[in-house]
Structure 1
């Protein structure tokens, strides 16, 4: 849609440029208020790029408190970010990108995440704090003919500030409630010569948690993030530039917790649903109101991760073109601990998947240097990734009674006083352990290119082509032992945790392409239309497989999933009026995906994790706008919005929602019981026409800033008052839409008021986020079973604080 960039334009117009060095580097600005971007692998005005793109500058990110991708979604209506913990994170654009639910190592992400031109191969590794960021570009729609890794839904491109040959320093400190503290600092200077410069950046973020564990006294959902980044820039000659970058990020929070939100009726026998199970143990959650923000989880919690890497980027201007090489190595080390029964009973005492990812990539690219008639970009991309995961799940003393069927029991009793079933013997499942060893090897190769051909004055044709190869192989081995350490298991134990061993493989070539026709009606009015035919690579299932029809082993036909086939159509207009004081960018899109990769369940009542399968077809269509109005230097307003109709067009064998699950299977044409009524359950459900999960029909962001010139603290500056609002309508938080997991729409408001003195590089402001203390969920999930328990992860409450920034 638009490079409309409401916030980026806001940044340019309201933040006076500091003295030479601290200012946003000249290469990121064009004339007349335009913003230069590198979305098409060359610097050009965002308004001239026939791509749906939004840009947010680093200063605007600071003002809005958007210091990571999660916060970024409040400013970008078409962007969705979901995370029950860093490993189980999804970034979607227009509702597309990654299947909703627990992460499966063996698939690709549809939204490319790039840090200074380096593709980041795990979405979990995108959760770092933004450090010394110059700008963030969000591109919507397929971008595979421009970027090394195929990106079928869009791309997020983060650019950090480069080393400067003029000494400069930037420092920022923020404090707030919940003992919030964030420190940021960066410094840059030449090293003994005008050919070599260095830049060092660091960040620290800490905050007490917003959820209290009444059992342990721990505050959960706390922040504890550290980052450091170093860069060396060597101008070997006027034509050759090399940049060496290294970064290290450590996060050690107590997160990410989900807890009691509500209870819904399933088709399980009543004595096997949550209310009866909790009564059998005499268990009551510490609160039935999730926004009391208390829980009593009894298992260890942790989300420690290390993220880091190094890259070498070379740019060589050979006259008619620039040659670029990006060589990179990155790693991600994930050390979690979870309570996957979500309540204070010893059902699942351990559920975790520590993972170590390593990746190497090499991109070689050539881009023409500004022909008026024919521009081109072409590249070769190589990528290799390995992931090693050591999963474990351990059942506790309450597991037998909670997970196994005790037969008929008297209402309100445990039913185990005289019964002799396995459910009444804690030793049956206590200590039952599955140790999962998972490995993944992923190799990608691509040749890609795009032309920008001026057919006639103002009329351009942009065809692109991509040849792509993907090879994936892996291994999944689950060894299950009982409480005595034996691998000889009873039928009841096998029904909860079953051993598995398989080694899936997938490889495929594909050719994809796109074509864009653009026309400059006037210098400030641009129209474009795009068609893209692209593919998201197939994958392998690495979270366990369902049992076969005879229940004698795993169903090996489900080891792999086919590639997604994407047909994308888009039209757009980018317009500026009144001497560019008004910007209005519009886009309409229609995306059809065949063989959509979806998360499904296997029907085993006690299995926690699902697996991947291909749905028939999904569609995402809608329209978006970005608008900004700058009537004077004293007032800036913006509005962005997206209407997205994202639905399953055809998915006839989908997993059923909890209200249609839990009963005995309705075999041989038997009639299932009504939703929420104990009895027979359908084997699968036809959810054709239902919403895709995680996407709202309407998403909006809006706000602005007003300022008054003033003299204060011995200098000339301005007082300002700013507001940033966002809204999203109801959305589904379950792969198959459920009555119990719809999340109601909500609006959030953030305000700031402060004083800045550009000449002295000073900015001081107070801020309040979620001003009205809106109570909302980021996501809702179902407890395995299905028992009917719905657990949730509340969004942040109201926070407030003060930020002081200084640059020179």
Structure 2
């Protein structure tokens, strides 16, 4: 059985000199005298340590657990770890939040609040991490500001994903899953020597498909289908005992109908005001009377999300004898090319509002780490460059556009002239952006006594971002919704961040820790929208102060793991993307934030065959100062949002699992896994509109299976969302550019799905 460290996530303090003798990135299983505990080795501090020995709030999910629970996406992971939220309105606008911070800041002109690292390489766009989590060694979530050990500075936390390395021991794993809605997933992993003792390889490939789960009564093509595939080739070179190099080449793509929403409610003019009434009347004049339903959508075009990315990285590790030198070089190209209906109605008003995006990034990191001892240290340098090319169809007008705007205008002026718009007319923008960043960072641990360790870290960062946007029109777009803007600007800055912490080993299995750290997220640029009054072109940086206290414990020969952490975070100048009804979204600093809370993670091996795991968090994330904020529907700006909860930040999160195994025959071991996840209600928009609040929901997953021939074969039956709960991932207002909000829309989570998985090892 696995403890929380190897299962649903555990946080733990760390003493480097007590880490097992393993290279960073290797997974090592260690067992107590009873042989009942399997520990996951993590690299949260860029060295191999037991998860229970790392003095920061950390959730670590092993690759084996990802496979056993069918966890293959970021949305799945958020139901395995506390304080973690994945937001995906489309691949370009996806983002991740930790402790309520970071979910609303995905944009061409901003960095991310939560840093993603894939095999040591920072990912400049969250959409780069949306490929299936296949052949993973571990998935680590580090909560709180990180920067004194990682290449890029982050204000909310880090997601550190490591894939399985090549091995000189030959092995092949094949897996096939079939399920409802035409679900099928194929996975293959092969590893072994090419030149014994010198060169090994690992090849990983996957393909995941599923039909749509949301009916479209207009087109007949269901929405929210899945279509992802990819491959990864790794080479491990070991020319000597003290030098190794790992080269990784990968390619992945997505082609599906992701992220289609439904109209859940129609706004009452008594709430939305005269503008809502005029919009509803204009829609009715064209034959469309909106009706709320979670059963279907009726957009008149297919929403097609298409991405592809390729990457190449190399990590070289050199044991110098007195220290270890590591170099990580990375390149990645990400391309997003969507098609989607942008008015959300069966009418052909706004055909397209999309951005075709190319992003190229290059990074180089060099680290030097001392050997374990009473005083140990790490120091590093990091350089990052990102180049972006964006062709944005801000609006493409359809066959019903002229009639709609004419009907809208004539409600206030019956003599308003007819609006003439040629179908296919476009309001477009082209953006070029460059980001350059470099940093020096370091961290050191000093063992004051055999129980007390003090840690200090320091980082200096310089960032520069340039951006050019040129807008233009084609045909005869509707002028009031096609505001010309041309930008040629830049912003640069620097920052010093630091960490101070203390960890005290009460016993070898019980630790107390406390820390104070600062974080930083570079300034951004508002590149893809006309700046409304009061919205500056330059978005100021985020600056964070964070206090942590925690305890990590194991009892009963390490059969029981219990970790508790408390935090208080103050952030100045939260960066966010604000979307208002009928107005193009824009970037801004949305005020100051205070996030505080408690996180608990636990796991108990009741017997060698029965394990129960649970984790949860209480998060009080609010605007501490936001007197001039955007307003909910029906309110006149500005609105004082001070004291309101942050966007996509549930107050309560609770996850639990129960796993039972037993021998069914001489060479057959059966197992049952039940999982439960709960999220309390949360705000669906930055302006904390009660109409767009996401209701609380609970999900139950069940998996029954058996392993044969000493684990060579594994067959399981599974059901996700077993109780067929109707729940929402996102909620917002429905509007057409140039008109007022007329309804509330949301993106549903997956309905009940079921299937079977067969895995074979050779």
Q: Please give the range of the TM-score, normalised by the shorter of the 2 chains.
A: over 0.9
User: Counterparts of 2:409 and 2:122 in 1: how far apart (Å)?
Assistant: 54
1:690 deviation in Å? 0.3
User: Counterparts of 2:467 and 2:26 in 1: how far apart (Å)?
Assistant: 47
The answer for the alignment partner of 1:308 in structure 2 is: 310
Alignment pair present for 1:278 and 2:283:
yes
The answer for the alignment partner of 2:343 in structure 1 is: 341
Contact 2:683–2:692 at 8 Å: present in 1 too?
Answer: yes
The answer for the alignment partner of 1:260 in structure 2 is: 263
User: Counterparts of 1:200 and 1:6 in 2: how far apart (Å)?
Assistant: 24
The answer for the alignment partner of 1:350 in structure 2 is: 352
Cα offsets for 1:21-46 (capped at 9, x unmatched): xxxx9743234333211110100111
Contact 2:280–2:289 at 8 Å: present in 1 too?
Answer: no
Alignment pair present for 1:384 and 2:395:
no
Aligned pairs for 1:786-801 within 5 A: 786-801=740-755
Alignment pair present for 1:91 and 2:96:
yes
Alignment pair present for 1:591 and 2:569:
yes
Change (3 A) 1:296 1:656: same
User: Counterparts of 1:615 and 1:780 in 2: how far apart (Å)?
Assistant: 19
Give 3-state SS (helix, strand or coil) of 1:654's partner.
coil
Change (3 A) 1:389 1:408: closer
Change (3 A) 1:400 1:783: farther
Give 3-state SS (helix, strand or coil) of 1:544's partner.
coil
1:88 deviation in Å? 1.1
The answer for the alignment partner of 1:21 in structure 2 is: none
Change (3 A) 1:224 1:271: closer
The answer for the alignment partner of 1:564 in structure 2 is: 542
User: Counterparts of 1:786 and 1:236 in 2: how far apart (Å)?
Assistant: 66
The answer for the alignment partner of 1:781 in structure 2 is: 732
User: Counterparts of 2:558 and 2:73 in 1: how far apart (Å)?
Assistant: 30
1:273 deviation in Å? 4.6
Alignment pair present for 1:228 and 2:231:
yes
The answer for the alignment partner of 2:445 in structure 1 is: 452
User: Counterparts of 1:353 and 1:147 in 2: how far apart (Å)?
Assistant: 31
User: Counterparts of 2:331 and 2:247 in 1: how far apart (Å)?
Assistant: 12
Give 3-state SS (helix, strand or coil) of 2:100's partner.
coil
The answer for the alignment partner of 2:115 in structure 1 is: 112
1:9 deviation in Å? 7.9
The answer for the alignment partner of 2:147 in structure 1 is: 144
1:4 deviation in Å? 4.5
Contact 1:369–1:375 at 8 Å: present in 2 too?
Answer: yes
Q: 2:59 aligns with which of 54, 58, 73?
A: 54
Q: 1:765 aligns with which of 716, 731, 746?
A: 716
Alignment pair present for 1:698 and 2:691:
no
User: Counterparts of 1:730 and 1:239 in 2: how far apart (Å)?
Assistant: 53
User: Counterparts of 2:63 and 2:588 in 1: how far apart (Å)?
Assistant: 40
Contact 1:274–1:789 at 8 Å: present in 2 too?
Answer: no
User: Counterparts of 1:352 and 1:470 in 2: how far apart (Å)?
Assistant: 28
The answer for the alignment partner of 2:370 in structure 1 is: 368
Q: 1:474 aligns with which of 463, 467, 483?
A: 467
1:543 deviation in Å? 1.6
The answer for the alignment partner of 1:17 in structure 2 is: none
1:402 deviation in Å? 3.8
Aligned pairs for 1:400-415 within 5 A: 400-403=402-405, 406=408, 409=411
Change (3 A) 1:179 1:279: same
Contact 1:646–1:691 at 8 Å: present in 2 too?
Answer: yes
User: Counterparts of 1:313 and 1:635 in 2: how far apart (Å)?
Assistant: 40
Alignment pair present for 1:724 and 2:681:
no
The answer for the alignment partner of 2:558 in structure 1 is: 580
Alignment pair present for 1:606 and 2:606:
no
Contact 1:144–1:448 at 8 Å: present in 2 too?
Answer: yes
Contact 2:267–2:276 at 8 Å: present in 1 too?
Answer: no
Aligned pairs for 1:312-331 within 5 A: 312-331=314-333
Give 3-state SS (helix, strand or coil) of 2:573's partner.
strand
Change (3 A) 1:536 1:477: same
Contact 1:645–1:697 at 8 Å: present in 2 too?
Answer: yes
Cα offsets for 1:205-226 (capped at 9, x unmatched): 0011111222222122111111
Contact 1:173–1:181 at 8 Å: present in 2 too?
Answer: yes
User: Counterparts of 1:770 and 1:547 in 2: how far apart (Å)?
Assistant: 43
User: Counterparts of 1:708 and 1:54 in 2: how far apart (Å)?
Assistant: 28
User: Counterparts of 1:141 and 1:651 in 2: how far apart (Å)?
Assistant: 22
User: Counterparts of 1:765 and 1:235 in 2: how far apart (Å)?
Assistant: 38
Give 3-state SS (helix, strand or coil) of 1:345's partner.
coil
Give 3-state SS (helix, strand or coil) of 1:504's partner.
strand
Alignment pair present for 1:421 and 2:421:
no
Structure 2 length-normalised TM: 0.93
The answer for the alignment partner of 1:486 in structure 2 is: none
Give 3-state SS (helix, strand or coil) of 1:191's partner.
strand
Alignment pair present for 1:29 and 2:29:
yes
1:476 deviation in Å? 1.2
Give 3-state SS (helix, strand or coil) of 1:5's partner.
coil
The answer for the alignment partner of 2:20 in structure 1 is: none
Change (3 A) 1:702 1:131: same
Give 3-state SS (helix, strand or coil) of 1:289's partner.
coil
- Structure 1 unmatched ranges of 5 or more: 11-24, 410-414, 484-488, 549-554, 661-681
The answer for the alignment partner of 2:481 in structure 1 is: 496
The answer for the alignment partner of 1:670 in structure 2 is: none
User: Counterparts of 2:729 and 2:381 in 1: how far apart (Å)?
Assistant: 39
Contact 1:659–1:738 at 8 Å: present in 2 too?
Answer: no
User: Counterparts of 1:122 and 1:571 in 2: how far apart (Å)?
Assistant: 31
The answer for the alignment partner of 1:15 in structure 2 is: none
The answer for the alignment partner of 1:710 in structure 2 is: 664
User: Counterparts of 1:742 and 1:273 in 2: how far apart (Å)?
Assistant: 25
- Structure 2 unmatched ranges of 5 or more: 11-24
Alignment pair present for 1:518 and 2:503:
yes
Give 3-state SS (helix, strand or coil) of 1:476's partner.
strand
Give 3-state SS (helix, strand or coil) of 1:659's partner.
coil
1:572 deviation in Å? 0.5
Instruction: State the aligned residue count.
Output: 735
The answer for the alignment partner of 1:804 in structure 2 is: 758
1:407 deviation in Å? 5.7
The answer for the alignment partner of 2:22 in structure 1 is: none
The answer for the alignment partner of 1:684 in structure 2 is: 638
Contact 2:573–2:589 at 8 Å: present in 1 too?
Answer: yes
Aligned pairs for 1:734-745 within 5 A: 734-745=685-696
Contact 1:272–1:405 at 8 Å: present in 2 too?
Answer: no
Q: 2:87 aligns with which of 82, 87, 104?
A: 82
Cα offsets for 1:144-177 (capped at 9, x unmatched): 1110011221111111111110110111111101
Q: 1:751 aligns with which of 676, 694, 702?
A: 702
Contact 1:28–1:37 at 8 Å: present in 2 too?
Answer: no
1:182 deviation in Å? 0.5
Contact 2:167–2:201 at 8 Å: present in 1 too?
Answer: yes
The answer for the alignment partner of 1:667 in structure 2 is: none
Cα offsets for 1:622-645 (capped at 9, x unmatched): 000000000211100000001001
